[in-house]
Amino acid sequence: MDRYVQKLRDRYDYSLIVFRELVKTDFQLRYQGSFLGMAWSVLKPLMLFAVMYVVFVRFLKFTDGTPTFPISLLCGTCLWSFFTEATSMGMRGIVDRGDLLRKVHFPNYIIVAANTVGSLISLGINLVVVVVFGFFAHAEYTWRVLLVPLNILQLYLIALGFSLILSTLYVYFRDIAHIWEVLMQAMFYATPIIYPISMISDRVPGFSWAAKLIMLNPSTQAIMDIRHNLISPHYVPTVWSYVGNPILCCIPYILTVFVLVIGVYVFRRSSAKFAEVL
């Protein structure tokens, strides 16, 4: 057993050292030169939440009337900011670190993983703020909080899978960054963050199927599960309570694994040529 552990350590020890240094460097460079520094990782989603709350909740009345909707909006904003940041930075990781790839030999996937983990650290900081605000915003903290790390892991794996695919495409086609930006904007409005999912079926008769289809999106399902388990198990629906059919409810989890597997496959198949192309 000790021999097997030592063999694994010898094989991956160097990769772990490089990974740790890349995560630390990436997180430090992210706010280098700014006056507030790391505080922007909290202020940015808070400012975005304030704008959304005033415009969509106060003026346009995009609310389900529950006492936890404001904190649910804040949580959703933080989660979506993580997903956007992780996929965008993961996409550019290989190209931005092209000089390092040509000088140092290490597994290329470490760069993409390091970028996404940096975004995950920011998410952790944001969720601490969400929890603190939750004490003053009627959040319901129950034993379901223990399930949140699993939900966050799922959302991270979705982001990692997309990042691996996008980083590969970005090496060859820079236009993919503009396409992904448009797609992310469309996905944002298709995800019940600034509005409750019930708004689709309640205000648009005959479109209950559209609401259920949205819930089958793995990123939507993960975000809704986190909000449900973290702050409002009574008011925030999940795919299990909204769709009902156990077979259909498994679709988001299957798609999560599918995106990750495809991402790993595409990246591994093309990574050997990255240094030559760059």
Element at 84 (helix H, strand E): helix 69-96
**Backbone phi, then psi, for 64, in 5-degree steps?**
-95, 5
pLDDT at 110: 86
Q: Do 214 and 220 contact (CB within 8 A), yes or no?
A: yes
Both tokens assigned to 194: 């600034």
Residue 5, pLDDT > 60, answer: no
pLDDT, tens digit, for every residue of 111-163?
888 889 988 988 998 898 889 888 888 888 889 999 999 999 999 999 999 99
Report CA torsion sign: 230, 234, 236, 238.
positive
174-183, 206-215, 263-272 — which is least confidently predicted? 206-215
Q: Do 75 and 81 contact (CB within 8 A), yes or no?
A: no
Lookup result for tokens 């290989």: 94
Please state, in angstroms and rounded to a whole number, the distance separating the CA atoms of residues 142 and 273. 49
Q: Do 25 and 17 contact (CB within 8 A), yes or no?
A: no
pLDDT, tens digit, for every residue of 158-197?
999 999 999 999 988 889 999 999 999 999 988 888 888 8
Element at 3 (helix H, strand E): helix 2-30
Q: Do 33 and 125 contact (CB within 8 A), yes or no?
A: no
**Backbone phi, then psi, for 65, in 5-degree steps?**
80, 0
Residue 278, pLDDT > 70, answer: no
For 14-34, what is the mean pLDDT? 73
pLDDT at 11: 61
**% the chain with pLDDT above 90:** 32
Q: Do 116 and 89 contact (CB within 8 A), yes or no?
A: yes
Please state, in angstroms and rounded to a whole number, the distance separating the CA atoms of residues 226 and 152. 7
Both tokens assigned to 44: 């940015």
Q: Do 200 and 242 contact (CB within 8 A), yes or no?
A: no
Task: State how far the alpha carbon of 19 is from the alpha carbons of 94, 102, 165, 274, in Å.
Answer: 14, 17, 19, 18
Residue 182: CA atoms inside 13 Å, Cβ hemisphere, count? 4
Average pLDDT, the chain: 83
